[in-house]
Each structure stands twice: as structure tokens, then as C-alpha cells.
């Protein structure tokens, strides 16, 4: 299963990078969203996909049956942070549209004399 | 301790200069400054009697003891000689500047602060035994020289000359620092005195030749040797007292000092002898040859300085050859060191006076262009006399000190040619030949300088001012130097005992134990030796060529301007400035995509190469969980969703597809037994999609269609490389787990220590609560940022095209 997941993660990363290399700002933001999904899945996969029970204490379950809780905690933190960043990015792009009137990244260049 | 303090005395005095200049405006500030070098000069004179008997003084001030860095004052024959030159000529130059610079029109406080700063720097260079402090003072001479050359900073040429000298000398200084550090690595000490006894071992070290070349680069750039001499003619934009002081008598001799000081260490290697003697001779020839071309008085003197410095340098090279012969005490090589020091003193006297005369001529006629000058002999008789003495000494005419040192120079050059050393038998004949030709040109430019200025026809209509003799105060300094020029000729052996022999001991310490053992006797008459005939030849050919000078001087114009070293320097500066600018603009084009391209390609190449070079790639199935049917279905759904995002041209479709991918991730979380993750993912994906729609779909101004995403092969290759990199890393990492997980601890203690049942939640708020605290902070900051972005509207002052 981990090998299959690794291939999926590789595919998601490739798609995310391809999106981030395009000219349109929305595709770049979409790319970052896909990238964060890939990173979360990578975290989960690397923790190991074994374990038959969710990491919630229950009667009659030995500690070896639980799924690894630590990657889950890390991912939970990462999801929230990624959401915060994505939300901010979206508003920045929204404002960029308003002020610049374009979403073409190749037109958004700094000052000539910068 | 007080010897170290004396080095800093000029710098301390400089603190008071601005007050003296502003408050005591009636008296020329130079008079106060004059006391400093004069007092130091008198003090250093009192040390002569000790030093000539072989005594040395060493005092150290521990500056950074933990790094073994100290400021030291080591006075032996060599450093005392230089200290006397610096303070003695320094006093004369200050005296001269009192009359040269107008106290009402010039920024005198700047001038004297820079000058005193330079004096400290120079004293530090020659008295430092510690290499790091030597370097410190060395760079301070570069900086103060830069400030002095650019003294009239409103003139373009001044700024250009200052920058050029700064670039070249600082380049050399940095190289020299490298050499010093290599020496420290090899010898384990920064002290030059302690390095000298180790020379026999150091010479076999791998770094030795590097240290040698780097330190020579420092010496050659400072002493304006070929090909680094180009800064010196441009430094002539400085006020004339500065040219006389820095660019003839003291600073340009710092390189000579360095070569002399390090001779006992580096002379053991033949490369040193060849480089110092060869470059010196080349410089001698080159400088004298191009001096005749100049039309500016100070230009002539600049090239002549370059040439004379080359002469001294080549003599130091020959002196180093003494280390390679058996029974050196009975050969002529020991004369070379003596001759070098002797000529160094002589050059300081006559060149100083000549610069001052050039300044007087400039001051009293308003021009330094030799084509406009002429016939000043009767108008400025005293200046003419002094100029004649200086120039004749430079040319090597008898009854003047230049004659003595030039004779010794020719002796040294003749003897090295006969010596079978380092294939001298093949190339050695070049030494006397080049030396002779250079001497002929020296003769020509010396006469050219005097007679084209003072003899010939007076052309008052070309002169900006009406020419007349300079005030007597201005003539004192050059007159003193001119008197010295004559006096040294008559008492050379007294000067030798006092100054030269102690210095020679410092250059060739293995030959002598004390200055008294230096058995060199200067005599004006050798009998009929080959050098006498060479001298006669120089006078004859030089006189003839000077007589016909007007006829062949035009031949210099044949040399193409495009191939000069100045053009090379300008080209390099252009390349450094414009070229680097263009290069930066080439890759920093302001397009974010290109930045991503560099980043991603570098990252994937580096990681993939590292994995395979270290043989770290491994796929191991044994620890894997079994593949389930439902998981595979969800994975396929995710892949389809992602492909839709990639290919669709509709914003709405892309956003919905992104949502589908997000929900699939949530379902995967469910399948992999992560209920909290699934919950969060579902909620957040919903909010995210809503936000995406809000931002990009309901935006009125922007079209709902994206541009048709065309397939880009380059982007695809980079994307696939990054994807491959992640897969390879993930597979290899998962296949090679070494340490067991820490999670067992959490699972076992979640209830007993944490008092909870949900392990993930207990980790978040209990075991690793700090993560959560700052995650909340991130969310809060994002919220504030979003509100600010939307609410805050700073008014643009000029934006008529703003689309609201």
C-alpha cells in the first residue's frame, strides 16, 4: 500500500509543480493547494499505514493495533496552517486582481529600477 | 609601550585638527601639523646610535590576545630608515603644503586629517612585526591615499584616479592578506621575526609558493610595478604635496619595504629572485620608456617614479640571489641590497624635490603642460637650480647622489649576468642590456623635464598666469632635499654607516651579525670598470637622443591606444559593472515562473543525484500494509480529479475538481484510521472551496474562463522530475526505517499521564501543546491579514487608471 501511496504522492507533486509553473495566478494557487494535499499524504504514509484501529483508547485493544497517532497530530497542525496560508493567498490574489486588473503572472513584474 | 603609541601619535593629533581649523583661522593649520612629524623625526633620530650598533627595539600591545593579534612596534635598521623617511619628508611636505594650499579657499582640516592618518598608517606598516596589524595599517594607507587623491572631489579626474588606485591597491592588499594567512598556517605565528628562523622548513611546504606569489602581488600593486603601475599616473590628480609625499617618497615604497622585509623568508626559493628581479627590471624599462611620451610635468614624474621603483625592486631581487650562492659574502650580490637601500634614500630626496618643483611651476604659471612651458630659467632661477639638481641626480650625473647608486646598480646588473644560476647563463644578458637602455631613457626624461620647462623660449601668451618666482617658504622644502642630494654624494659612507648598513642586515641577516660587518664602501671613483664605460655610453647616447627629441617623440603616437593597460583596466571595470548588471538582469527577470524553474530543477537534480550517488535507493515491500480495493478506488478518483484540474479551462471546473481531490483525501484519512483528520479535512475543504469560489468565481472584473492551458514540455519535464524525486525519496525512506517510533510511548501513557482517550487530541493539547498554540497564532495572523487586505485602502496619490 505504501508503494502505491508513494506513486500517488509523486503524481500529486508533479501536478502541483506543473500548476505552479503556469502563468495564471489561480493555477498557481490551485497548485499550492494540491501541493499541501500531497505533503499531508506523504506525512501519513511515512508514519506507516499499518494499525487496525483508530488511535482512540478502547477496551480490548492492544497498543500495537492503533494507527500511529503522531503523524496524525502533525498533519492536523499542517492542515490548519495550510488553510490559513491558502486563505491569505486567495485574498492577496483577489486584491491583486482588483489593483492590477490581470492574473497573468508574466505581467506582474517589479519596478524596472528595483 | 610608548613606541606603539608613537605610531598613533599623528592619528591622535588629527582629532584636534578640525577645532584648530575652525577656531584658529588666522594661522594656517599646517603650522600646528608640522610639529607632529618634526617631533617624531627628531625622536627617531635619537634611535640611530643604538640601531647602527646592531640594537633593535620591540614593543607589543596585545590587541586581541585570544586570537594572538597584537599591534607591535619593531624597530631595526630597515624600519628605522623608513620611519625617518616618513617623518622627515612628512615634515618637509607639511611645510611645503602650508604655502601651497590657501588657508581661505581649501578645506585644510580634511587635508591634514587625511595626511596625519596616512602618517600613522605608514609608520604602522614599517614598524609592524605582526602580520595582521601590518595588513591593517597597509589598508589604512590605501584608504588615506584614496581620500587624498580625491581631495578635490568635485573634479571627475580626481575621483576616477582615487577609485582606480583604491581598486588596484586594495586588490593587492587582499592578496597579501591571503599570503599572510598562509604563512601563519605554515609557521604557526604571525610574527615575522619568528618566521625568519623557520624559513628553511617553510620552503618545502606546499603553500609556500602560494604565499610567495600572493605577498608579491601585494608588494607589486602598492609599489606600482608592471602591470599594476597604471594607478600611479592617475593618482597625480592629488594635490602636489600629496604626490610628493605618498606617490614618490613613502607609500609606493611600502611594497619595496615588504619585499625587503620578507626577503629572508622567501629568497630561499628561486621564484622569488626571478619574479622580483624580472618584474622590477621590466617596470624600470617600461616606466622610463613611457615617461618620455608624457606632456604633463607630474605625468613625467609619475612614470619616472614607476621606473625608479622598478630599479630598486630589481636590486632587491638580485640581493635575494645572494641566498643561492656559496660564499655570498665574497660576491657582489651583497652590494645589491646596499645599492637598493641607497637608491631608495636617494630617490626619496630627489623625487620629492622634483615633485615640489612641479607643484611650484603649476602654482606660479597655472599649467603643468610641458608644451606650454619653457624659458622659465630667468624668471624662476631658484626653482630651476633645484630642479636641475634633482633631475641630474635622477639621470645619474656625477657629483650627485644618483650617480653613486646608479653605478652600484650597474655593477649589480653586470654581475648577475655572469652568474650561472637559475639559467641565468641563457637569459642573464638581458639584465645589463635592459638596465642600460632604461638608463638612457632615464637620462632623456630627466633632461626633458628640466630643459623643456626652464630652457627654450618663454611663451607667456600660453600661460594662464604671469610666471614669477615662488615665495621663499615654498622653496624651503625642495631646497632642503636638493641640498641633501649633494651632501649625500660627498658623505655617502657616513649615511651608509648610520642608515644603510643596519637596513642591509635586516635584508640579508644570514650574512652579517651586526651592521659593522657590512663591508661595503661607496666610492665615487672605481677606476676604469665596465660600469664606467656604460655610464659614459648612457650620457653620450642619452644626450644625442635628447638633442633630437622633437624629431622622434612623435613616434610614440604609433602605439595604438586600444592595447594599453589602461584600456584593459577600463574594460575590466566596465565588465565588472555593466557586465555583472547584465548578467543579473539575465536571470533575475522578475518573472516568478523562472524563479520556480531554477528552484525546482536544482532541487530535483540535487536530491535524485544524492540518492543514487550514495546508493540509498531501495524498495522494500516487507513492512507495507496490504493493498485494499477501496483505497485503490479512491486513489483513482484523486488522480482523475487532479487531471481535471490540469486540463480544464474553466475556473469553476478546476475549483470543483480541487474540492473532489480534497474530499478524496478526507476519505483516505477515514480508511487509514484517522477520524480527527477526516473531520478537519472535510470542514476545511468545504471552507476552502467556498473561498476559492468567492475569490475567483464571483469576482466581477475577471473573466470566468482561464486561458486555455497549453501543454508546455519544459514545465512537464520539471514537474515529472519533482514528482519522481518525491516518490524516490518516499520509497527509499519508508524502506529503510532504522529507529522504532516514539508513538508507543504516547499510546501507553495517554490515559495514565494525559488523562484522555483520544491519543491525537492529547498529543495536540498536552504532549505537544506548543505546536497548537502557535498554529492558533498563525490562524489569527492570517485572519487579521485578510481583514487588513480587504479593509485597508491607502489612498494612492496619482492613480487615475485605478479600477475600482
Partners of residue A57 in chain B, C-beta under 8 Å:
750-751, 756-759
User: What single-letter DSSP state applies at residue B60?
Assistant: E
Any B CB within 8 A of A33 CB: yes
Q: Is A72 exposed, middle or buried (0-12, 13-18, 19+ CB in 10 A)?
A: buried
CB-nearest to A3 from B619, B706, B715 is B619
CB distance B348 to B355 below 8 Å: no
Across the interface, whether the CB atoms of A84 and B706 are under 8 A apart is answered: no
B732/B614 Cα distance (integer angstroms): 12
* Cβ partners under 8 Å of residue B297, min gap 6: B358, B361, B362, B368, B369, B370, B373, B449, B453
CB-nearest to A88 from B680, B771, B785 is B785
CB-nearest to A73 from B625, B688, B768 is B768
Please give the pLDDT value at position A94.
81
Closest CA to A69 of B685, A77, A33: A77
B81/B47 Cα distance (integer angstroms): 10
Interface with A, mutate which of B596, B704, B760, B792 (most A CBs under 10 A): B760
Report pLDDT digits (tens) over B277-291: 889 999 999 999 889
The stretches in chain B having pLDDT less than 50 are 704, 802-804
- Between residues 93 and 112 of chain A, which touch chain B (CB distance below 8 Å)? 93-95, 97-99, 101, 103, 105-106, 108-110
Q: CB pairs below 8 Å between A and B: how many? A: 276
Number of neighbours of residue B628 by Cβ within 10 angstroms: 14
Across the interface, whether the CB atoms of B597 and A21 are under 8 A apart is answered: yes
Cell numbers at B366, concatenated? 597655472
Across the interface, whether the CB atoms of A2 and B625 are under 8 A apart is answered: yes
User: What single-letter DSSP state applies at residue B614?
Assistant: T
Report pLDDT digits (tens) over A15-28: 999 999 988 888 88
Which residue of chain B comes nearest to A79, CA vs CA?
B681
CB-nearest to B731 from A3, A14, A98 is A3
* ipTM score: 0.94
CB distance B225 to B277 below 8 Å: no
B324/B540 Cα distance (integer angstroms): 36
**Strand pairing partners for B650?**
B705
Q: Is B525 exposed, middle or buried (0-12, 13-18, 19+ CB in 10 A)?
A: exposed
Across the interface, whether the CB atoms of A83 and B675 are under 8 A apart is answered: no
User: What single-letter DSSP state applies at residue B207?
Assistant: T
Three-class SS of B69-91: EEEEEEECHHHHHHHHHHHHHHH
**Distance from A62 to chain B by nearest Cα, in Å?**
9
Please give the pLDDT value at position B757.
86
CB-nearest to B624 from A2, A33, A99 is A2
Task: Tell me if residue B191 falls in helix, strand or coil.
Answer: strand
Any A CB within 8 A of B784 CB: no
Across the interface, whether the CB atoms of A3 and B707 are under 8 A apart is answered: no
A73/A59 Cα distance (integer angstroms): 22
Q: Residue B528 region, left (φ>0) first, then alpha (ψ -120 to 50), else beta? A: beta
**Distance from B778 to chain A by nearest Cα, in Å?**
7
First-residue to last-residue Cα distance in chain B: 75
Total-model pTM: 0.83
Any A CB within 8 A of B752 CB: no
Q: What angle do CA B39, B44, B46 make, to 5 degrees?
A: 105
Please give the pLDDT value at position B804.
41
B335/B341 Cα distance (integer angstroms): 10
Cell numbers at B98, concatenated? 602650508
Report pLDDT digits (tens) over B99-140: 998 888 888 889 999 999 999 999 999 999 999 999 999 999
CB-nearest to A30 from B625, B645, B760 is B645
Cell numbers at A91, concatenated? 485574498
Q: Exposure string (b/e) for B142-179, b if CB count within 10 Å is 16 or more?
A: bbbbbbbbbbeeeeeebeebbbbbbbbbbebbbbbbbb
**Strand pairing partners for B70?**
B62
Any B CB within 8 A of A25 CB: no
- Between residues 579 and 618 of chain B, which touch chain A (CB distance below 8 Å)? 589-593, 596-597, 600
Question: In this structure, what is the dihedral angle of CA atoms B289, B292, B295, B296, given to the nearest 10 degrees?
Answer: 70
Across the interface, whether the CB atoms of B750 and A57 are under 8 A apart is answered: yes
Predicted confidence band at A114 (pLDDT cuts at 50, 70, 90)?
very low
Across the interface, whether the CB atoms of B747 and A55 are under 8 A apart is answered: yes
Q: What angle do CA B106, B111, B112 make, to 5 degrees?
A: 120
**Distance from A32 to chain B by nearest Cα, in Å?**
11
Number of neighbours of residue B465 by Cβ within 10 angstroms: 12
CB distance B443 to B543 below 8 Å: yes
Which residue of chain A comes nearest to B722, CA vs CA?
A14
CB distance A50 to A67 below 8 Å: yes
- Between residues 390 and 419 of chain B, which touch chain A (CB distance below 8 Å)? none
Please give the pLDDT value at position B200.
84
Q: What angle do CA B434, B440, B441 make, to 5 degrees?
A: 90
Cell numbers at B496, concatenated? 651608509
Question: In this structure, what is the dihedral angle of CA atoms B432, B436, B439, B440, given to the nearest 10 degrees?
Answer: -170
Query: Sign of dihedral through CA atoms B553, B559, B562, B563?
Result: negative
Residue ranges in B150-267 assigned as alpha helix (H): 156-187, 192-195, 199-202, 208-222, 231-234, 240-244, 254-266
Residue with the three cell numbers 529503510: B736
CB distance B161 to B236 below 8 Å: yes
Partners of residue B723 in chain A, C-beta under 8 Å:
10-15, 17
- Between residues 667 and 706 of chain B, which touch chain A (CB distance below 8 Å)? 668-669, 672-677, 680-681, 684, 687-688, 691-692, 694-696, 699, 701-702, 706
Across the interface, whether the CB atoms of B701 and A97 are under 8 A apart is answered: yes
* Cβ partners under 8 Å of residue B423, min gap 6: none
Amino acid at each position: 500500500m505504501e508503494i502505491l501511496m508513494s506513486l500517488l504522492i509523486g503524481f500529486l507533486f508533479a501536478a502541483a509543480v506543473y500548476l505552479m509553473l503556469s502563468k495564471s495566478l489561480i493555477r498557481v494557487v490551485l497548485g499550492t493547494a494540491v501541493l499541501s494535499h500531497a505533503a499531508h499524504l506523504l506525512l501519513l504514509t511515512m508514519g506507516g499505514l499499518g494499525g487496525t484501529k483508530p488511535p482512540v483508547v478502547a477496551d480490548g485493544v492492544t497498543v500495537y493495533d492503533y494507527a500511529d497517532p503522531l503523524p496524525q497530530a502533525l498533519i492536523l497542525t499542517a492542515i490548519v496552517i495550510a488553510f490559513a496560508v491558502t486563505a491569505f493567498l486567495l485574498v492577496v490574489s483577489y486584491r491583486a486582481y482588483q489593483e492590477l486588473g490581470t492574473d497573468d503572472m508574466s505581467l506582474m513584474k517589479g519596478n524596472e529600477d528595483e | 609601550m610608548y613606541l606603539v603609541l608613537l605610531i598613533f601619535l599623528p592619528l591622535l593629533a588629527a582629532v584636534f585638527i578640525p577645532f584648530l581649523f575652525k577656531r584658529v583661522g588666522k594661522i594656517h593649520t599646517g603650522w600646528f601639523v608640522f610639529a607632529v612629524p618634526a617631533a617624531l623625526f627628531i625622536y627617531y633620530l635619537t634611535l640611530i646610535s643604538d640601531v647602527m650598533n646592531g640594537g633593535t627595539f620591540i614593543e607589543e600591545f596585545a590587541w586581541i590576545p585570544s586570537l594572538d593579534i597584537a599591534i607591535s612596534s619593531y624597530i631595526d635598521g630597515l624600519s628605522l630608515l623608513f620611519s625617518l623617511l616618513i617623518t622627515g619628508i612628512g615634515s618637509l611636505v607639511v611645510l611645503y603644503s602650508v604655502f601651497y594650499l590657501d588657508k581661505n579657499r581649501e578645506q585644510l582640516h580634511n587635508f591634514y586629517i587625511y595626511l596625519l592618518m596616512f602618517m600613522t598608517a605608514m609608520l604602522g606598516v614599517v614598524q609592524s612585526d605582526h602580520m595582521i596589524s601590518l595588513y591593517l595599517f597597509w589598508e589604512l594607507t590605501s584608504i588615506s591615499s584614496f581620500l587624498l587623491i580625491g581631495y578635490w572631489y568635485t573634479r571627475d579626474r580626481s575621483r576616477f584616479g582615487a577609485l582606480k588606485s583604491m581598486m588596484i591597491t586594495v586588490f593587492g592588499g587582499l592578496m597579501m592578506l591571503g599570503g599572510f594567512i598562509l604563512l601563519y598556517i605554515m609557521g604557526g605565528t604571525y610574527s615575522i621575526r619568528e618566521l625568519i628562523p623557520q624559513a628553511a622548513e617553510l620552503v618545502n611546504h606546499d603553500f609556500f609558493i602560494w604565499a610567495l606569489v600572493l605577498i608579491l602581488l601585494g608588494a607589486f600593486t602598492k609599489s606600482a610595478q608592471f602591470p599594476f603601475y597604471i594607478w600611479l599616473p592617475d593618482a597625480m590628480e592629488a594635490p602636489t604635496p600629496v604626490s610628493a609625499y605618498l606617490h614618490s617618497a613613502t607609500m609606493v615604497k611600502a611594497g619595496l619595504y615588504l619585499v625587503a622585509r620578507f626577503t629572508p623568508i622567501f629568497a630561499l626559493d628561486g621564484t622569488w629572485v626571478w619574479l622580483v628581479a624580472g618584474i622590477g627590471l621590466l617596470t624600470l624599462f617600461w616606466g622610463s620608456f613611457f615617461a618620455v611620451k608624457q606632456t604633463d610635468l607630474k605625468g613625467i614624474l609619475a612614470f619616472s617614479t614607476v621606473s625608479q621603483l622598478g630599479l630598486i625592486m630589481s636590486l632587491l631581487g638580485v640581493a635575494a640571489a645572494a641566498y643561492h650562492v656559496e660564499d655570498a659574502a665574497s660576491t657582489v650580490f651583497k652590494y645589491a641590497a646596499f645599492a637598493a637601500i641607497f637608491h631608495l634614500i636617494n630617490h626619496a630626496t630627489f623625487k620629492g624635490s622634483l615633485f615640489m618643483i612641479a607643484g611650484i611651476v603649476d602654482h606660479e604659471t597655472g599649467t603643468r603642460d610641458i608644451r606650454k612651458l619653457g624659458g622659465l630659467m630667468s624668471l624662476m632661477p631658484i626653482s630651476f637650480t633645484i630642479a636641475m639638481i634633482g633631475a641630474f641626480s635622477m639621470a645619474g650625473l656625477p657629483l650627485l647622489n644618483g650617480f653613486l647608486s646608479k653605478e652600484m646598480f650597474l655593477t649589480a646588473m653586470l654581475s648577475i649576468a655572469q652568474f650561472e644560476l637559475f639559467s641565468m647563463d641563457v637569459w642573464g644578458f638581458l639584465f645589463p642590456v635592459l638596465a642600460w637602455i632604461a638608463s638612457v631613457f632615464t637620462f632623456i626624461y630627466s633632461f626633458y623635464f628640466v630643459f623643456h620647462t626652464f630652457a627654450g623660449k618663454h611663451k607667456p601668451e600660453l600661460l594662464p598666469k604671469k610666471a614669477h618666482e615662488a615665495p621663499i617658504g615654498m622653496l624651503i622644502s625642495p631646497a632642503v632635499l636638493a641640498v641633501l642630494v649633494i651632501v649625500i654624494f660627498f658623505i655617502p659612507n657616513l649615511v651608509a654607516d648610520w642608515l644603510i648598513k643596519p637596513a642591509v642586515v635586516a635584508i640579508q641577516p644570514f650574512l652579517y651579525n651586526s651592521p659593522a660587518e657590512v663591508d661595503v664602501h661607496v666610492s665615487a671613483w672605481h677606476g676604469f670598470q665596465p660600469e664606467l664605460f656604460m655610464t659614459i655610453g648612457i650620457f653620450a647616447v642619452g644626450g644625442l637622443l635628447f638633442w633630437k627629441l622633437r624629431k622622434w617623440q612623435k613616434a610614440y603616437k604609433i602605439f595604438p591606444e586600444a592595447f594599453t593597460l589602461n584600456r584593459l583596466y577600463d574594460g575590466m571595470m566596465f565588465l565588472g559593472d555593466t557586465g555583472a548588471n547584465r548578467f543579473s538582469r539575465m536571470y533575475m527577470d522578475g518573472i516568478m515562473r523562472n524563479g520556480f524553474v531554477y528552484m525546482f530543477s536544482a532541487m530535483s537534480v540535487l536530491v535524485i543525484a544524492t540518492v543514487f550517488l550514495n546508493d540509498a535507493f531501495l524498495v522494500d515491500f516487507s513492512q507495507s500494509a496490504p493493498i485494499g480495493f477501496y483505497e485503490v478506488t479512491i486513489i483513482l478518483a484523486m488522480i482523475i480529479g487532479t487531471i481535471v484540474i490540469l486540463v480544464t479551462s474553466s475556473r469553476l471546473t478546476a475549483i470543483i475538481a480541487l474540492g473532489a481531490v480534497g474530499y478524496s483525501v478526507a476519505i483516505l484519512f477515514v480508511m487509514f484510521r484517522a477520524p480527527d483528520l477526516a473531520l478537519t479535512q472535510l470542514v476545511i475543504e468545504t471552507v476552502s472551496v467556498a473561498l476559492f469560489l468567492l475569490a475567483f468565481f464571483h469576482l466581477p472584473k475577471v473573466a470566468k474562463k482561464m486561458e486555455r492551458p497549453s501543454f508546455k514540455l519544459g514545465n512537464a519535464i520539471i514537474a515529472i522530475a519533482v514528482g519522481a524525486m518525491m516518490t524516490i525519496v518516499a520509497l527509499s525512506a519508508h524502506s529503510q526505517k532504522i529507529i522504532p517510533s516514539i508513538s508507543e510511548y504516547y499510546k501507553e501513557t495517554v490515559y495514565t499521564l494525559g488523562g484522555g482517550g483520544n491519543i491525537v487530541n492529547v498529543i495536540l493539547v498536552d504532549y505537544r501543546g506548543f505546536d497548537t498554540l502557535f498554529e492558533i497564532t498563525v490562524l489569527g495572523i492570517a485572519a487579521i491579514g485578510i481583514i487588513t487586505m480587504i479593509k485597508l485602502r491607502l489612498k494612492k496619490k496619482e492613480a487615475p487608471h485605478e479600477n475600482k
